[in-house]
Amino acid sequence: MPALVGLAVVSLLAGGLTPASAENSRALYRDASAPVPQRVDDLMSRMSVEDKLGQMVQIERDAAGPADVADHRIGSVLSGGGSTPTPNTPEAWADMYDRYQRAALDTPLGIPVLYGVDAVHGHNNVRTATIFPHNIGLGATRNPWLVRRVGAATAEEVAATGIDWTFSPCLCVARNDRWGRTYESFGEAPWLASTMSEEITGYQGHRLGDDPTSIMATAKHYVGDGGTTGGVDQGDTRLSERELRRIHLEPFRAAIERDVASVMVSYSSWNGTPLHAHRYLIRDVLKRELGFDGVVLSDYDAIHQLDGDDSTLTASEVRRSINSGLDMIMLSTDHERFLHLLRQEVSAGTIPMSRIDDAVRRVLTKKFEMGLFERPFAQRDLLSTVGSDEHRALARQAVRESQTLLENDGVLPLSPEEDKVFVAGSNADDIGNQSGGWTISWQGSSGAITEGTTILEGIRQVSDAPVTYDREGDGIDSSYDAAIAVVGEKPYAEYRGDSPEGVRLSRQDLDTIAKLRESGVPVAVVLVSGRPVEVTEHVDDWNALLASWLPGTQGGGVADVLFGEYDPTGKLPVTWMRSYEQQPINVGDRKDPLYPFGYGLSYRN
């Protein structure tokens, strides 16, 4: 065994590192062949209270640099949406990660940090990364094996930059499409989210840490975030416990069966009690009844909301959240205040040391399982996978399978050889719009924000005949065989996407479609959106309607369906309402939708 420890020391030195301390470098917790529980016990026996409390903090990179993280013995760092190094390149991410890791390893116990990001549809903060369809499109595929492969490809690109942890998949069950996070849901049926939790195995592998590309997954947001009244983000889910369990809890059971490494708690409330202070649902149901043994993580500054005043963190908020069972607290800033209040509560005995030990044990267990003590740095040999042809081909297949054909009078499929096509619309040539929120920035944005193929570029690649494009439809005439209008939503994320009045096409989009129709040319409408859009009064005037969802960077997959390279197989993951006044409208509630849950045409039928 000493030889092995010696090897560990040599490898640390080879990495330009000074071992944490000579004595600790020979400690049992450094022995990779020892069982994880014994390594955890040994390490915890060596930790001061300060060492332990620091492990319960996850701080935004903007608020704490490597030295600060090391000085406070902080256990985890995150990049919130759009919090990127400059330049925003995979190599710069790996350099940033390794700087945090080196500082953490250079402390007496040398406990590595866990770094987390929202890689929710690819490594979406990073320019040049492959951006996959958002979850609502993946739900339309009904293909969990494809979704697992999406998770695995994402994990490769994430691990290449060093990052250990993705705050994904969102297993929210979206029950009211006014909700701004509907597109982060796999759909309105619990079984669909449960099935698609297969993505966890893609991220983690069959056993966390067994493969160098394995990253921690996060089932979020526990529990009932998609069921808030009126679809208000971070609102109140008013349901009986039976209904809460039937609709919103089941996907978390499936995630735990897949050994998900962490669960993120929801900002929302259940019958008026905030989830971040819900001891019954976290400690009794999640940890005890469902047997969840991973890390329960807060949402971003979520505990600041518990006392009603978001601005100031209070002792009561720290006490209530930790005693409710949260193990790690995600903070934008305030880590020193949080640690001061936590220390105060522990000293006063209002947070028992046993609760702290449970939390720290869970965090350290994941660090050992991830192999962080043995493999602390970015897997730079994987950098070539970021945005690779292989991953983009997989993304294109995911786009194909997500496309959901809702109307078609025969205008589709187009002929690549013969059809003279005119393309128009606000979302035809815009990578940012077709990727949606959580892309390069938190909210996403229009424009050429990263590398990829717009839907127009995809059409031009697939069609052999010349393709004419004008965003507004100017220049259309009867010489064309078909017109394609690519329209829909512009990027948003979270509460900024809440739409209490419902979602309809903009005047600009409707004018563009009208201009195309005036030429007498058949019009196929391609709807790029994160949720159903109210189209009832217009759809009879259209020759085809294709729900494209938020396809990401590989717009060629949309063109493949339009030109029959791929026969559409997508099935609605959410009921498509006649009018927003029908919301919430979900499978089984016997309302009369425009298109029911599970609906989708192919070219054969």
By beta-carbon proximity to ligand GLC, the closer residue of 228 and 385 is 228
Q: What distance separates the 2 farthest-apart alpha carbons in the chain?
A: 83
Residues sharing a CB contact under 8 Å with residue 61, sequence separation 6 or more, in sequence order: 77, 78, 79, 83, 96, 100
369 is catalytic: no
Interface pick for ligand GLC out of 54, 66, 81, 593 (rule CB under 6 A): 81
Residue 60 β-bridge partners: 78
By beta-carbon proximity to ligand GLC, the closer residue of 302 and 412 is 302
The token pair that represents 399 in the structure block: 């786009």
By beta-carbon proximity to ligand GLC, the closer residue of 199 and 299 is 299
Cβ at position 132, least distance to ligand GLC in Å: 17
Cβ at position 233, least distance to ligand GLC in Å: 9
494 is catalytic: yes
By beta-carbon proximity to ligand GLC, the closer residue of 118 and 156 is 118
By beta-carbon proximity to ligand GLC, the closer residue of 40 and 306 is 306
Specify whether the CB–CB gap between 529 and 559 falls below 8 A.
no
Q: If binding is defined by CB under 6 A, does position 300 make contact with ligand GLC?
A: yes
Q: If binding is defined by CB under 6 A, does position 167 make contact with ligand GLC?
A: yes
Residues sharing a CB contact under 8 Å with residue 321, sequence separation 6 or more, in sequence order: 276, 277, 298, 303, 306, 329
Backbone angles phi, psi at 221, to 5 degrees: -110, 125
Cβ at position 279, least distance to ligand GLC in Å: 21
Cite the beta strand spans of 308-441 per DSSP E.
329-331, 404-408, 421-424
Cβ at position 76, least distance to ligand GLC in Å: 12
218: enclosing H helix or E strand: strand 218-222
- Given 184, 199, 429, 494, the catalytic residue: 494
By beta-carbon proximity to ligand GLC, the closer residue of 165 and 480 is 165
Interface pick for ligand GLC out of 299, 430, 489, 534 (rule CB under 6 A): 299
Cβ at position 82, least distance to ligand GLC in Å: 9
Cβ at position 301, least distance to ligand GLC in Å: 8
By beta-carbon proximity to ligand GLC, the closer residue of 220 and 460 is 220
# residues contacting ligand GLC (CB under 6 A): 7
Q: Can the peptide bond before residue 584 be classed as cis, meaning omega within 30 degrees of 0? A: yes
Cβ at position 455, least distance to ligand GLC in Å: 27
Backbone angles phi, psi at 58, to 5 degrees: -120, 115
Give every strand in the sheet of 57-60, ordered side by side.
165-166, 114-117, 76-79, 57-60, 329-331
467: enclosing H helix or E strand: strand 467-469
Q: What DSSP letter does each residue of 407-440 carry, written as one string? A: EESS--SPPTTT--EEEESTTTT-HHHHH-SSBS
3-class DSSP state of 380: helix
Q: Letter for the amino acid at 496?
A: R
Q: If binding is defined by CB under 6 A, does position 80 make contact with ligand GLC?
A: yes
Determine the straight-line distance between the first and last CA of the chain, rounded to whole angstroms: 67
Q: If binding is defined by CB under 6 A, does position 205 make contact with ligand GLC?
A: no
Q: Which of 130, 170, 142 is nearest to 435 (CA)?
A: 130
Q: Letter for the amino acid at 110?
A: G
- Given 157, 250, 299, 334, the catalytic residue: 299
Exposed/middle/buried for 566, CB within 10 Å: 0-12, 13-18, 19+?
buried
Cβ at position 300, least distance to ligand GLC in Å: 4
By beta-carbon proximity to ligand GLC, the closer residue of 61 and 319 is 61
Residue 329 β-bridge partners: 57
Q: How many whole angstroms separate alpha carbon 46 and alpha carbon 565? A: 62
Interface pick for ligand GLC out of 39, 61, 148, 220 (rule CB under 6 A): 220
Q: How many whole angstroms separate alpha carbon 255 and alpha carbon 199? A: 9
Cα distances (Å, whole numbers) of residue 45 to 27, 40, 56, 369, 460: 11, 8, 17, 19, 64
Specify whether the CB–CB gap between 57 and 335 falls below 8 A.
yes
* Subset of residues 341 to 360 that bind ligand GLC, contact rule: CB under 6 A: none
The token pair that represents 101 in the structure block: 């890791």
Backbone angles phi, psi at 540, to 5 degrees: -70, -20
Q: Which of 476, 471, 497 is nearest to 486 (CA)?
A: 471
By beta-carbon proximity to ligand GLC, the closer residue of 30 and 220 is 220
Q: If binding is defined by CB under 6 A, does position 251 make contact with ligand GLC?
A: no
By beta-carbon proximity to ligand GLC, the closer residue of 66 and 81 is 81
Q: If binding is defined by CB under 6 A, does position 118 make contact with ligand GLC?
A: yes
* Subset of residues 471 to 510 that bind ligand GLC, contact rule: CB under 6 A: none
Cβ at position 183, least distance to ligand GLC in Å: 13
Cβ at position 538, least distance to ligand GLC in Å: 34
Q: If binding is defined by CB under 6 A, does position 134 make contact with ligand GLC?
A: no
Q: Letter for the amino acid at 382?
A: L
The token pair that represents 54 in the structure block: 């620091």
Give contact residues for ligand GLC (rule: CB under 6 A): 80-81, 118, 167, 220, 299-300
Catalytic residue set: 299, 494
